[in-house]
Structure 1
Amino acid sequence: MIELGKKQTLLIVKSVEFGVYLAEDMNADTKHQVLLPAKQVPAGTKAGDKLEVFIYKDSQDRLIATTNEPLLMVGQAGLLKVKQVTRIGAFLDWGLEKDLLLPYHEQTTRIFEGQECLVAVYVDKSSRLCATMKVYPYLSKETPYKEGDQVKGRVYQISENFGVFVAVDNKYSALIPAREAKGKYRPGTVLDLRVTRVKEDGKMDVSDRQEAYLQINEDAENVLEIIEEFAGVLPFDDKASPEVIRREFGLSKNAFKRAVGHLLKEGKIQIKDRRIYLVK
């Protein structure tokens, strides 16, 4: 069976002026044959020879073979460059003559000509190869990393309930859990991350924060700066709700309490009347 979007080794069953026809066996009928255009046929090949080719569709929606190597195949995720943005979607350079369509309904954020975006290749309902930015199902769960490793991850989706979804190395499935996510995140941003857990299913939890004993100084400085923005008096203390703390500081309640404790120990702040005061 000739499979769309994949590489296959096929036999040359017939030569014509404009190329050769390939099939799985020499007796295949015409509907189970695919054309390899003449300009792609290696010199000296003949009927019965085997060729490794990639199968996609031409501009007239017909199956066609190529000896060129696509940057991504069906089911794979990776970075592709945007060549053109049109009314029907964006066209991406994936290494073949015909560009790959990223339909509007498969885009998760606005994209621009010339940028690189993380996508996966799939076959749509009309049996056409397309790209999607909804890459979660296509990321690998066979991570080579372990807890404590430093990695790079690209943000591709943000969820208030779950956290920040990232693709480590543009390939492996990872999540910054909501309780760990601080600050503002944007799809496409590449972050330096620390693996905090590798789950049984192979997915990773990651953090863009250092371990607590290293992070505390940075958090304390952040808290000090924001108290200064409140004219030296923060209108709540470390018993404020997690939502208020995250909104104002981008920190979890535990991280905030650690930072406040550190500043109290250093004598830089004081707490009274359920407020935090800067010590001048």
Structure 2
Amino acid sequence: MIHLGEYNTLEILRDTEPGLFLGDGDQDEVLLPNRYVPETFEIGDQLEVFVYLDNEERPVATTDQPYIKKGDFAVLRCNQVTKFGAFLDWGLVKELFCPFKEQAFKMKAGGWYLVYCYLDEDTQRLVASSKTNRFLDNKELTVSQFDEVDLIVSHPSEIGMNVIVNKRHLGLVFKDDIYKDISVGDRLKGIVKKVRRDNKLDISLSQIGYRNIEPSAAFILEVLKDNSGFLPLHDKSSPEVIKEQLQMSKKSFKKAIGSLYKDRLISIDANGITLIK
């Protein structure tokens, strides 16, 4: 089956006046117009091509590489707006259509917008949507705390910057964790800093120094952060107090703070432990 909006590896079936006809071995064929035909080829050769609909709504192949494909996000320039919707430059001859109903904010010619590309089931056309959040789902997460993830910067909020996580989930980088200039559409690496009870994801843009240490140590660091960087606990604290405050044994607690102290992430004194900033 030949897939619209994706790269397909197809076999050259025959050479015709308008171009090469390519097939997938299942009797599906698509035209590769002359402008994309390689200088040398033989019938039976395999070509990797991108397939989309031309101006006549017919499947057509191209060797050009679009800026976005089906199921992906990208920042695209709006070339024009008509009474039907906006038309975006995605690097191919035919522009990518974004209907008015799929625009989070009304697009303007010359503007740049983060969009998602999908195949409209009703029209079987590739279209864009700047309502990117509706293509993300945090109900069933595929990531865990301290996982390294791929990020696409989505849109700002009052408390930070929303990011798309692994092209599947929505996450948030808080202002205090943003140490460099980032813009909508930037692709970055990040770390899942925290998974909240409602499955919201807190993301860090920098490597978390403690992400590879034991879970008890990581948990203590999170509790320290939630308590202004200080806990009135130390290696002389009673097992009962430690269990009450941290739900862990004194043995686990001592091992964890020992690891954190060794890594210079905390200081320990007679009053308790303090997070080193």
CA distance in 1, matches of 2:53, 2:83: 21
Distance of aligned partners of 1:201 and 1:8 in 2 relative to their CA distance in 1, 3 Å threshold: farther
Distance of aligned partners of 1:41 and 1:145 in 2 relative to their CA distance in 1, 3 Å threshold: farther
Which of 160, 163, 166 aligns to 1:167? It is: 163
SS of structure 1 residue aligned to 2:35? helix
CA distance in 2, matches of 1:78, 1:195: 22
Specify the alignment match of 2:110 in structure 1: 114
Contact 2:77 2:113 in 1 (8 A): yes
Following superposition, the deviation at residue 155 of structure 1 comes to 1.6
Following superposition, the deviation at residue 66 of structure 1 comes to 0.5
Which of 60, 67, 71 aligns to 1:71? It is: 67
Following superposition, the deviation at residue 77 of structure 1 comes to 1.3
Specify the alignment match of 1:20 in structure 2: 20
1:92 aligns with 2:92: no
SS of structure 2 residue aligned to 1:112? coil
Distance of aligned partners of 1:189 and 1:3 in 2 relative to their CA distance in 1, 3 Å threshold: closer
CA distance in 2, matches of 1:6, 1:154: 23
**Counterpart amino acid of residue 70 in structure 1:** P
Can you list the C-alpha shifts for 1:29-66, whole angstroms capped at 9, x where unaligned? xxx21000011011111210100001100000000000
Specify the alignment match of 1:134 in structure 2: 131
CA distance in 2, matches of 1:116, 1:142: 30
* Superposition map of 1:151-190 within 5 A: 153-155=153-155, 166-168=162-164, 171=167, 173-176=169-172
Contact 1:77 1:170 in 2 (8 A): no
TM-score, normalization: structure 1? 0.57
CA distance in 1, matches of 2:31, 2:73: 27
CA distance in 1, matches of 2:68, 2:34: 24
Specify the alignment match of 1:276 in structure 2: none
Following superposition, the deviation at residue 111 of structure 1 comes to 2.0
Contact 2:78 2:108 in 1 (8 A): yes
SS of structure 2 residue aligned to 1:65? strand
1:7 aligns with 2:7: yes
Following superposition, the deviation at residue 139 of structure 1 comes to 4.8
Contact 2:117 2:128 in 1 (8 A): yes
Distance of aligned partners of 1:37 and 1:204 in 2 relative to their CA distance in 1, 3 Å threshold: same
CA distance in 1, matches of 2:163, 2:172: 11
Unaligned runs of 5+ in 2: 176-183, 205-224, 230-277
Which of 80, 83, 92 aligns to 2:79? It is: 83
Distance of aligned partners of 1:95 and 1:197 in 2 relative to their CA distance in 1, 3 Å threshold: same
The two structures, once aligned, show a CA RMSD in angstroms of: 4.2
SS of structure 2 residue aligned to 1:20? strand
Can you list the C-alpha shifts for 1:173-209, whole angstroms capped at 9, x where unaligned? 33459xx99xxxxxx699xx996523699862359xx
Aligned length: 196
Distance of aligned partners of 1:173 and 1:66 in 2 relative to their CA distance in 1, 3 Å threshold: same
CA distance in 2, matches of 1:144, 1:52: 35
**Counterpart amino acid of residue 75 in structure 2:** L
Which of 27, 46, 71 aligns to 1:50? It is: 46
**Counterpart amino acid of residue 113 in structure 1:** A
CA distance in 2, matches of 1:95, 1:142: 32
SS of structure 2 residue aligned to 1:72? coil
Can you list the C-alpha shifts for 1:230-280, whole angstroms capped at 9, x where unaligned? xxxxxxxxxxxxxxxxxxxxxxxxxxxxxxxxxxxxxxxxxxxxxxxxxxx
**Counterpart amino acid of residue 66 in structure 1:** T
* Superposition map of 1:224-263 within 5 A: none
Distance of aligned partners of 1:74 and 1:18 in 2 relative to their CA distance in 1, 3 Å threshold: same
Following superposition, the deviation at residue 73 of structure 1 comes to 1.0
SS of structure 1 residue aligned to 2:101? helix
**Counterpart amino acid of residue 130 in structure 1:** V
CA distance in 2, matches of 1:110, 1:195: 33
Contact 1:174 1:206 in 2 (8 A): no
CA distance in 1, matches of 2:185, 2:50: 32
Can you list the C-alpha shifts for 1:67-111, whole angstroms capped at 9, x where unaligned? 111111111112111111111111111111111001001011122
Following superposition, the deviation at residue 170 of structure 1 comes to 9.6
